[in-house]
Structure 1
Amino acid sequence: MDATRPEIRKSGYKTDVYLRAVGTLYHTHLPAFHDYWNDIEDVSISRFATQLIALLEDLRLEEVIKHSRPGTGKDFTIRKHYLKHFFNTQLTTNITRSYALDELFCMIYLLLQSDSPRF
């Protein structure tokens, strides 16, 4: 999938706005995130932990937004297809380069977004 295709870019921009403007603004408890970031700042994999919690929150918010605004479903479907392709490609790259945490992150995303036991 080519991220430069207009329909993919447009859906990407729109879903980013939905996630931040609708999701984070109205459905995220920001003090909990600040507490989390304070708790992990001295952890050796704090960057990974930050990326993981952001991913999980975006997936949670996506479901909230799709439920409350059904018209967003098409854009989120395009986003999901693109990201599945992206993380599949990155997984291969990370395996080849022995980037264990990046590989783990890709596998987590693909597993969470999988429609079957094999992603």
Structure 2
Amino acid sequence: MDIVNLVNILNGLNDQDLDMRLYFTRKRPNRRYHSYSPTIHPDLQIEIKDIVKSAVERIQEVEQRPFSPIGTIEGCIETYTPKEVTSFNDILESLNEDFVNRQEVPPEEVGKLTFYCLKIITDEGDILLEE
């Protein structure tokens, strides 16, 4: 996604009508994904949005290049499209409301989590940020 466009969308969000989900995902040994998404208090949603906006604003002028498995270039952000992630659909399926675990992440699972995703629901469509 274009970083400048993302900043504009984040700036246009109404804090009083904010809708976001934070997913903590584990890739299991059987290569399937399991996601947890505890409920986020509205005040915390605003705080998370502000943190993300601040982080994205700091990098909006940084050069973006396609991901290279050979190595990275210092000072660049590497990007890739969902089509390049072989398990992308499996990851999305684990975020589906029919499968996601809405309970607290069990303490024994915390150290096994592989990545997190932040989903921001907007009028323009959902924004999915991964780390």
Fold shared, TM-score > 0.5 on shorter chain: no
More helix by share: 1
**Structure having greater relative contact order (Cα 8 Å, sep ≥ 6):** 2
Q: Give the TM-score of the pair, scaled to structure 1.
A: 0.30
